[in-house]
Each structure stands twice: as structure tokens, then as C-alpha cells.
Structure 1
């Protein structure tokens, strides 16, 4: 591992360590000292690379949102027909809800932060806008907005229902109902 300011991956390690820390302990447990230790960098690197805790959190959550948008894009870009788009949305719900619990926790931490602080609401609005734009490749804007909410809600419900999360057929039925008139 390279050391000093010449370490080209230091900033990336700090961002990754921030997301890992948030996933394990929540935003409330974040501190420069904890993130530096987790990233294996000197404490001074924190202020060298980031103007403060808000800049670090915004950049880390932006990175997280970018990755989720990329998952949306990966699924939706394969669809050529309306039915393929419905299948893609169904697959998306199941990919996200069956994926790493870390992603679910990070999303909820971001939503909680956004509920309290306007600068994070801007970040979540940008994330939702980008998700809806991908859905709008296949559906009108109103339907895309409903589908985006459905994806978020079903992902959360499937991920948290340990007893009997609904199956793919039920997800597809919900997607079809929303898109039937589109």
C-alpha cells in the first residue's frame, strides 16, 4: 500500500471506509478519527481530501447512489419491449432486495439524513430523478414515478420480511398493474 499524498487510492479508501462504517454503525457513529482508522490512513488525510464531515458524507452517499443507479441502468437497458421492461423492473426489485443488507442499511441511513437535512434531500432527489429517467425510457413520467416508489417500497418490504417475502410473481403482478394503462 502506498503512503503519503502520492497514494492515488487514499481518497477512494476513505470513501469506502465511510460507507462501510455507516452500514455497520450508522451516520451518528461517523467521525474523522474512526474513518481514518478504518481506511488505514493518517487522520490528517481526512481534512486534506475533504473539506469537512458533510463533504465526506455527501460524496460517500453520492457514490452509493451512483452505484444503485448503475444497477437500475444495467437492468433497464436490456429491455426492448414493454414486457421486457416489466420483467426488468421485477428483476430489479428482487436484485436489490436479495442483495447485500449493507445497501438496504445505507439507503435507509441516507433517507433518514435527508428527512432531517435539506442538502441531503437534494442528493436523494437527484438520485430519484436519475432512477425515474431510466424508467422513462420505457414508461411515461407518471408511471415511472409510481414504479420508482414501487421499487423502493417492495425492495424494503422484501428485504425486511424474514418470514415470507413475496415472490417474483407477486412483484411482476404489481409492476403490471401500475404499467397496464401506461
Structure 2
């Protein structure tokens, strides 16, 4: 089987049900955002991170493919195709992981600057990509049937990636760098 089909050369692509839509269709933008996020999580897994975190990132990648498949199908196609939908328990799993990560880091008292260790920086990039993907799904939901769970999952995942980024720094002994608001900076700089 060839990797290329030439079917997208005119800027169109096929949804799961075979219908053709422009490549910038909100549905394509939404599941494309999940694909991009999944790829970024693969990059996060390539860094020096704890084995448990690598396993959890792989689990999230699997979840994102499941959600992407769901988004690639117009409503009635989903039930006819008999695809597996992500269960509600996936949200509970993410919330448990958030709580674990928060317990491993100092209390958060103010905004922080993304960065620190390589692993933390990668996770922060993934977090911002997750928020963009979430916005894409919210846009799709305005015009199409999208399960609320998809948006909730992405919202929790953004929080989780933030918590994991802080956890990665803490594991490497790197403290958070607090953001100093402009007014505070100006008063500190005056003699």
C-alpha cells in the first residue's frame, strides 16, 4: 500500500464516513489538533523522564487517538461504526494523576515561567498545544455534535501537563521561576 493517495492534493480530505471536506474544516482542525498534541507527547517521552511518566504519556497518546477517531466521525457514523468511545473514568484517571503530581511539588503561590529542565520545557509546550487543541474542539462543538467528555478531557489534560512540568523540575531539583508582574518589576528597579 502506498503512503500517498493524491486524494488530498486539492485541499480536501475524507472523514471516517467517506464524506469529503476541506482540510481546514473545523472537524479536521479539531482532530488535527489532537494529532499534533499526541506527537508532542511522543517527543516528551523521548526525554529523560521517569518510566512511570513515560507510561502515562503513552496512555494519554492512546486516549488522544481514540478521541481523534471520535471527532473524525459525524454523529450518526459513530454508532454505526461501533467504535470504542473514551469512558468517563478517563477523567477520573487524569484527576488522580494531577493530585499525585501536585503532592510532589511545592505549593503554587503565583504564576511561573515555563522552563527549567528539558523535560519540563517540553511538557509546557505540550500544555500550550493542548490548550489550542481544546479551543479547536470548542469551536467544533458550536456547529457539530461533540461529547462534553472530549472538552472536559482536554481541559484536565492541560492542567495535568502543567502539573507534570512542575513535577519534572522538582524531580531534577530545579525550582519554579516566579513571574514578576511589570508593576512589581518597575518598583524593584527604582533606586
Normalising by structure 1, report the TM-score. Answer: 0.28
Higher relative contact order (CA 8 A, sep 6+): 2
Whichever structure has more strand as a proportion of its residues is 2
Which of the two has higher C-alpha Rg?
Answer: 2
| TM-score normalised by L of structure 2 | 0.27
